[in-house]
Amino acid sequence: MDNRKILLVDMNAFFAGVEQQSNPHLRGKPVLVGGGVGKRSVVAACSYEAKWCGVSSGMPLMKALKLCPDAILIEGNSSKYTDTSKRIFKICRDYTDRLEIYSIDECFMDVTSTQSLFGGAWEVGRGIKSRIRTKLGLTCSIGIAPNKMLAKLASNMKKPDGLTEIKWSDAPSVLENLPVTKLHGIGDRTGAQLAYMGITTAGQLGRTPRDKLKRKFGIIGDVLHEMGQGIDRSPVVPYYDSPDMKSIGHSYTLSKNTRDPDIIYGQLQRLSEKVGRRLRAENYAGKTVSLVVRYEDMHTFSRRKTLSYYLDDGYDIYKAASAIMREQKDPRSVRLLGVCVSNLTKGMYQLDLFTNPRKKELMKTVDTLNDKYGEFTVRPASMVGLEARLKTHGFAGKHYDDSWET
DNA sequence: TCTGGGGTCCTAGGACCC
DNA sequence: TCTGGGGTCCTAGGACCC
């Protein structure tokens, strides 16, 4: 039995809502937001007007446009969303400091000990909704429950603009006929395996013997069993003691598949520079460099190399990533490339003993210029040649864009 | 119209050491 | 002429989430 009061605040069609708010012409119209608007993009967010046509996020842009030919296409602007996000969380923080930032548009709040100041959890929910609406012109759905799992479920029960509470005593009836895949953490794969066992609803999941689930799913068998019963003991982890990042990476889907080493290595260099820049900006350095390659047939693999020292310089990352790439003899044409650095350390770290101290100075200068004038204003000379080459190869579009985050 | 980009956690197996 | 057991670090890949 859980006596906590947990809220989940989830913004409705967040990116699309922000765009409609900042441009009145978009209001009431189907809006698709994508990260880049190339042929191979997918929908990152869409307005409810677009959802009514059958569009959903994650859908290929081309398919969405077919379903909804009148949709207005917008290239996402991550800093606009990050700013709005901060303002939303700032409002939420007025009700408790036990606030966990779950994603750019979602946060959990534990108001167990503060709710009485505001007349209860329901009133907290109402207050947040009304302030987000009047200050930012956006709607959200809020779920209230004794734990995070049920709060998430509650928030999904009414969209858009919902406020829903699941009390502990309501949990059994809510779960009884709920499809298992609606539970947070059960995706298509696990859902299919459960279905194969004859389990399709959360109610059935809760009645399945724990041992049977453990034999099939290992450690998550326990979690599944408890989820089926509406139990979730995980705490709300406040933003101020959220763990450090584990990895920083960038990937890029080429506008055309290619085997051209100039393009492949050029993109690896560009991605490595981006990763290095972010590492330095956030004061991290890492020891493990991963290369990700997706081929034309969508088969994706990764190879990593752990070094004996920490690095945060784009060229060092590139050296490691391209060395791994050179070992690949796959004849297939490449669709996506990714570079990721993990095994991170924050703050002080041991640089390679042979690093020239002046190199640090140079990197700092480059970062300052790029901060001021935009990404890749200053970049390795070899990349300039790449841009011309991309043009002649018919790789249309902006290859040097900041790719943006969800 | 084929299928983005940024992450997290978990697992199984191998290498290596005592 | 057979073959332990614990621990740690590393790798590759899968599943999941927003």
Transcribe A107-144 into DSSP letters: EEEE-TTTGGGGTSHHHHHHHHHHHHHHHH---EEEEE
Q: What percent of chain A has pLDDT over 90?
A: 80
Enumerate the nucleotides of strand B whose atoms come under 7 Å of any protein CB: 1-12
Eight-state DSSP code of residue A168: G
Q: Report chain A's mean pLDDT, rounded to a whole number.
A: 89
Distance A294 CA to C13 C1' (A): 13
pLDDT band at A347 (very low <50, low <70, confident <90, very high): confident
Crossing angle between the packed helical segments A78-93 and A121-136, to the nearest 10 degrees: 140
Q: What is the pTM of this model?
A: 0.88
Instruction: List pLDDT tens digits, range A247-271.
Output: 999 999 999 999 999 999 999 999 9
Q: How many CB atoms lie within 10 A of CB A258?
A: 18
In three-state secondary structure terms, A250 is strand
Q: Is the pLDDT of residue A362 over 80?
A: no
In a 13 Å sphere around the CA of A235, the CA atoms on its Cβ side amount to: 6
- Between CA A65 and CA A58 the distance in angstroms is 13
Distance A104 CA to C1 C1' (A): 63
Closest C-alpha to A228, from A191, A265, A256: A191
| CB A202 within 8 Å of CB A181 | no
Distance A336 CA to B14 C1' (A): 29
pLDDT band at A361 (very low <50, low <70, confident <90, very high): low
Enumerate the nucleotides of strand C whose atoms come under 7 Å of any protein CB: 9-18
Amino acid sitting at position A82: T
Closest C-alpha to A325, from A396, A265, A249, A257: A265
What is residue A375's predicted lDDT score, i.e. its pLDDT? Answer: 59
Residues A168, A171, A174, CA angle at the centre, nearest 5°?
150
Q: What percent of chain A has pLDDT over 70?
A: 86
Scanning every strand, the nucleotide with its C1' closest to A58's CA turns out to be: B4
What is residue A359's predicted lDDT score, i.e. its pLDDT? Answer: 64
Scanning every strand, the nucleotide with its C1' closest to A254's CA turns out to be: B4
Instruction: List pLDDT tens digits, range A171-228.
Output: 999 999 999 999 999 999 999 999 999 999 999 999 999 999 998 998 889 999 999 9
What is residue A36's predicted lDDT score, i.e. its pLDDT? Answer: 79
